[in-house]
Amino acid sequence: MTRRTDWPEHAYSGPPHRPEPASAGDGGFAGHSDDESEGGSHPAEGVSGSGRLRGDRTGHGEGSSRRGRRRRGFGEPSAEDGDAFSSSRAEKGESSGDPAERARAICLRLLTGTPRTRKQLADALRKREIPDEVAEEVLSRFEEVGLINDSAFADAWVESRHHGRGLARRALAQELRTKGVDPTLIDEAVAQLDSEQEESTARELVARKLRSTRGLDRDRRLRRLASMLARKGYPEGMALRVVRQALEEEGEDTEFLGEEGG
């Protein structure tokens, strides 16, 4: 009979899985919906991994069990989180009298189905009244075996949220700060994107939204499109330049905008 170990590294086969981008992420930058507009509702703007815009996917043809579900974004808990361990050692461990065993069980349950940062797990352990010294020891051990990896989390977050939601570096950095990622790791992660990539994505987002603004006066079109980019964290100069060029291509007079810089 094989002896069961207290630590999960024996079952660990690599760094945290990097999920594919989501078409509908878990909340936009600064708490705004990407579909805010003054007329009608439209699919959320998103950019596919190949740089092409895409709307929501409905999952047709993938089986009735998936019908009606929306795709879960990176770092967003699944409906099944917590159920997978219904009769497992992890669930039993949470009711254990040993604080270290409880802490390990809580972390394993929370890491099932979605990555978490060290701060997110530390906050969860604090709420469950795990002593700080015990929590620190358990979290450090999870980092050693790769079950907690804030650097990989930040990289995956940037990739998913930029390609899936079109978020710019400023918005991505803000989201990662709220999740307790170290500033140095945030800088390294958002460095995956440069100004050229940001502007390319901004143009695609505007091109998608442009059609819904037709029929409005020029100023309202400008405000709506520029505000959409601002909510996603794009610099003001870049947003105005991209919107101006898009409106010019439709025959709008945009001389009043002048020449804004990036």
**Measured between alpha carbons, how far is 143 from 149 in angstroms, rounded to an integer?**
6
Average pLDDT over residues 110-134: 95
pLDDT of residue 96: 60
> Into which CATH architecture does domain 150-190 fall?
Orthogonal Bundle (1.10)
Please tell me which of 74-88, 89-103, 191-205 the model is most confident about, judged by mean pLDDT.
191-205
Q: Which residues 6+ apart lie within 8 Å of 75 measured at CB?
A: 26, 114, 115, 116, 153, 157, 179
Question: Mind listing the pLDDT tens digit for each residue in 60-74?
Answer: 444 444 444 444 556
pLDDT of residue 215: 86
**Measured between alpha carbons, how far is 24 from 21 in angstroms, rounded to an integer?**
9
For residue 133, CA distances in Å to 95, 104, 124, 126, 136 come to 19, 13, 14, 11, 5
Q: Where are the domains of the chain?
A: 78-144, 150-190, 195-257
User: How many residues in the chain?
Assistant: 262
- Bridge partners, residue 185, by sequence: none
Average pLDDT over residues 65-93: 48
154 DSSP 8-state letter: H
Question: Mind listing the pLDDT tens digit for each residue in 138-195?
Answer: 999 999 999 999 999 999 999 999 999 999 999 999 999 999 999 999 999 999 999 9
| pLDDT band of 93, cuts 50, 70, 90 | low
Please tell me which of 24-28, 54-58, 218-222 the model is most confident about, judged by mean pLDDT.
218-222
pLDDT of residue 159: 95
Average pLDDT over residues 121-145: 96
Q: What share of the chain is helix, strand, coil (3-state, %, to 5)?
A: 50, 0, 45
**Measured between alpha carbons, how far is 146 from 139 in angstroms, rounded to an integer?**
10
